[in-house]
Structure 1
Amino acid sequence: MGFLSVLSQAQRWVKERTLPGDIAVDATAGNGSDTLFLARTVGPKGTVFAFDIQAEALESTRRRLESEAMQEELATVALVREGHENMSEAIPVERHGRIAAVMFNLGYLPGAESDVITHPASTLAALESALRMLRPGGIVTVVVYPGHEGGQTEADAVSSWAEAVSPAIAQTVVYRFPQKLYSPYLIALNKK
């Protein structure tokens, strides 16, 4: 049996640190995989905020949630058409410091134009906001994709940012497959 994929490992770590009724954030909604995972994990008493700048991504996420909601109860999900760097303004202040998990899946929307990508400046601003809004024991997961145009630059920026986070604030970890040079890898922070 092999190791978990980076996406599965991110979900595993999030699931270990969240409870039914929690608040969670999908910082990059994309096609809605992480949004659905979070909506299931925090359950019908929980709340999920899902961010994306592309209407197509939010529509895909909405359809995925509606399809699954017919079979199971999910969290309340707010689909927010904003860049993730604006999450602290878009999420009500009374929820700051109470968020259990924030998931990032960087790069571009699968199946869409690959020229719309996440960028280091907005991603780093979003990561700073995410870390501030987490509750103690909360987690941030970031899946980076060094194999696409601009991906290595963003992956390096996220890695440098994570390395610079004080151990008094959060523990950081990198989960990657070093035999696959340009494969996606996971950076995670667990807030103290």
Structure 2
Amino acid sequence: MIHEILRPIIKPGDLVVDATLGNGFDTLFLAKAVGPQGKVIGFDIQECAIENVRRRLENEGLLERVSLIQDSHSNIDKYIFEPIGGAMFNLGYLPGGDKELITKPQSTVEALEKTSCLLSRGGFITILSYWGHAGGKDEKEAVEKFLSKLDNKIFLTAKFKFLNRSGNPPVIYLVQKL
């Protein structure tokens, strides 16, 4: 669903960020969307995520469009010094990985704050919060608190919830810089 929302927004040649590489599905989408002149910068703290994404991109012939960084998304400002067209965040843990290694409220909010400052006009941030695990609710609440305080003259924010899923379905947040 998020890919369909972003498809008309991402432009060939854009610089975009995958803030949480995971298994690389968003990274691959972004690499295709930015085209040969674009660039994706991807972050993950786990070496296995970096290697999984590297293999996925190599198999698709798209590795040259992506820089993979093994570091926290909260350190985005140490790697990116120019405006970005957008960023994608998937919060929680690496599917198929160690469920004890999760994104945390403090580093996620710090990353969102820095990312929102890097956004170019019309740029986007998508956040998919998988919050049905220990610590997930706290992170979801911290994200909502941060997004609620963004200046509405500069940012448009939205929250989407699944209504026909049981348990703790993921929540989608969208941010666009006006």
Question: Deviation of residue 110 (structure 1)?
Answer: 0.7
Residue 78 of structure 2, aligned match among 89, 107, 124: 89
- Give matches, 1:60-75, under 5 Å: 60-69=52-61
Residue 162 of structure 1, aligned match among 138, 147, 152: 147
Which one scores higher on RCO, CA 8 angstroms, separation ≥ 6?
1
Does residue 78 of the first structure (1) align with residue 64 of the second (2)? no
Q: Distance in 2 between matches of 1:74 and 1:117?
A: 26
Match of 2:175 in 1: 189
User: Taking structure 1 as the reference length, what is the TM-score of the superposition?
Assistant: 0.88
Q: Distance in 2 between matches of 1:138 and 1:123?
A: 19
Match of 2:45 in 1: 53
Q: Distance in 2 between matches of 1:125 and 1:176?
A: 24
Q: Distance in 2 between matches of 1:154 and 1:189?
A: 17
Match of 1:175 in 2: 160
Number of positions where the alignment pairs a residue of Structure 1 with one of Structure 2: 177
Provide closer, same or farther for how the CA distance between residues 104 and 130 of structure 1 changes in structure 2, counting only shifts above 3 A.
same
Report the 3-state secondary structure (helix = DSSP H, G, I; strand = E; otherwise coil) of the residue aligned with 1:16: coil
Match of 2:19 in 1: 27
The CA deviation string for residues 154-181 of structure 1, in whole angstroms up to 9 with x for no partner, is: 1111111111111111000111113435
Report the 3-state secondary structure (helix = DSSP H, G, I; strand = E; otherwise coil) of the residue aligned with 1:171: strand
Question: Deviation of residue 68 (structure 1)?
Answer: 1.0
5+ residue gaps, structure 2, are none
The CA deviation string for residues 128-169 of structure 1, in whole angstroms up to 9 with x for no partner, is: 011000100000000001211111111111111111111111
Does residue 153 of the first structure (1) align with residue 145 of the second (2)? no
Report the 3-state secondary structure (helix = DSSP H, G, I; strand = E; otherwise coil) of the residue aligned with 2:7: helix
Q: Distance in 2 between matches of 1:175 and 1:124?
A: 19
Q: Distance in 1 between matches of 2:5 and 2:75?
A: 25
Question: Deviation of residue 13 (structure 1)?
Answer: 2.4
Task: Give the letter aligned to residue 13 of structure 1.
Answer: I
**175-184 or 26-35, larger mean C-alpha shift:** 175-184
Question: Deviation of residue 120 (structure 1)?
Answer: 0.3
Instruction: Flag as ranges the 4+ runs of structure 1 deviating above 3 A.
Output: 178-181
Question: Deviation of residue 18 (structure 1)?
Answer: 1.2
Report the 3-state secondary structure (helix = DSSP H, G, I; strand = E; otherwise coil) of the residue aligned with 1:167: coil
* Identity value in percent: 42
